Amino acid sequence: MDDTGWVLDEATGVAPHLLPPPLLTDQDLVPLADEWQNAVPGRDLIRKSGTSFEPFSSPWIARLVVPPLSLNERNVWAEVFLLQIGFVQRSVTILRGY
């Protein structure tokens, strides 16, 4: 942990979400074939030179894992949420007998 309480990687001192994707290995720590390495999210953003991978930046900073909702979708979800809150509040009021 750093001074503010955030978790850091012990080897690099970097926050976990800023690290490059892990290299997949077998039980003897031998790297798996490229077909398996390419299945790791973010691995496609890392160049391969010779036998090692060279990250040019953390793929998690530039990649959207979950695409953002459009303004219309956010409004629909907000309305549904508000309706559910109103239903729960009315149910509690009825059960309490107010």
pLDDT for 8-24, tens place per residue? 888 888 888 777 778 88
The average pLDDT across 20-48 equals 82
Closest CA to 18 of 34, 32, 7: 7
Whether 57 and 90 share a structural domain? no
Report the percentage of the chain scoring pLDDT > 90. 21
User: Of 29-33, 45-49, 85-89, which has the strongest mean pLDDT?
Assistant: 29-33
The domain total for the chain is 2
Q: pLDDT at position 30, please?
A: 92
Question: What is the SS3 assignment for 29?
Answer: coil
Residues 63 and 74 in one domain: no
> Is the same domain home to 22 and 52?
yes
Q: 71: part of which helix (H) or strand (E)?
A: helix 71-96
What pLDDT, on a 0 to 100 scale, did the predictor assign at position 53? Answer: 54
Are 37 and 80 found together in one domain?
A: no
Residue with tokens 């001074």: 3
> In terms of domains, do 83 and 39 share one?
no
pLDDT band, residue 90 (cuts 50/70/90): confident
For the chain, give percent helix, strand, coil, nearest 5.
40, 10, 50
Our measurement of the distance from residue 5's CA atom to the centroid of its chain's CA atoms, rounded to an integer in Å, reads 20
Q: Which domain holds residue 11?
A: 1-67
